[in-house]
């Protein structure tokens, strides 16, 4: 059995991504792993438009404190580009994720899909296991 040391969770400031962070932090607490919270900064975020999200490390710090995870075991990383590519890259060094965690709004390109397009693409292309947290908080 493999030891789980490195968890990467995608974060965009949405409620769904906060649920994914909370789930990943709880898991990390239980298995003594580190969590890297990955925020992908795409082109719309770099523009001064209403499309900008409020994805801040302070929201993640609040979750880490609420879940009583040692803050030294949680890292904030901003990567350039789209969310899917950034998450897939995180499985390689220097991060070396052993598990990817993503939240899902279920707003995929195809009606009736249970998971969103980013979640689906990550699941289809990841070199490591992926956990998709549904739009409601899922227990560990």
Range of weakest confidence among 49-53, 69-73, 89-93, 133-137: 49-53
Predicted confidence band at 45 (pLDDT cuts at 50, 70, 90)? low
Task: Please give the CATH architecture assigned to the domain spanning 6-110+118-133.
Answer: 3-Layer(aba) Sandwich (3.40)
Q: In this prediction, what percent of the chain has a pLDDT beyond 90?
A: 66
Q: Is the distance from CB of 70 to CB of 56 less than 8 angstroms?
A: no
Q: What is the DSSP secondary structure assignment for residue 46, as one 8-state letter?
A: H
Q: Which pTM was predicted?
A: 0.85
Residue positions counted in the chain? 140
Give dist(CA 72, CA 102) in Å, integer.
22
Interval 99-120: pLDDT, tens? 999 998 765 455 444 456 889 9
Is the Cα dihedral 112, 114, 120, 123 positive or negative? negative
Give dist(CA 109, CA 29) in Å, integer.
35
Interval 78-89: pLDDT, tens? 998 899 999 999
């Amino acid at each position: 059995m493999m030891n789980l040391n490195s968890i990467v969770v995608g974060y965009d400031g949405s409620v769904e991504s906060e649920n994914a962070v909370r789930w990943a932090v709880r898991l990390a607490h239980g298995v003594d792993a580190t969590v890297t919270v990955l925020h992908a900064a795409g082109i719309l975020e770099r523009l001064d438009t209403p499309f900008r999200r409020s994805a801040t490390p302070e929201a993640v710090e609040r979750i880490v404190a609420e879940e009583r995870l040692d803050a030294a075991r949680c890292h904030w990383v901003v990567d350039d580009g789209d969310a899917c590519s950034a998450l897939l890259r995180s499985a390689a060094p220097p991060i070396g994720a052993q598990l990817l965690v993503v939240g899902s709004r279920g707003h995929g390109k195809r009606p009736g899909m249970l998971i969103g397009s980013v979640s689906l693409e990550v699941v289809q292309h990841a070199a490591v296991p992926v956990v998709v947290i549904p739009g409601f908080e899922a227990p560990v």
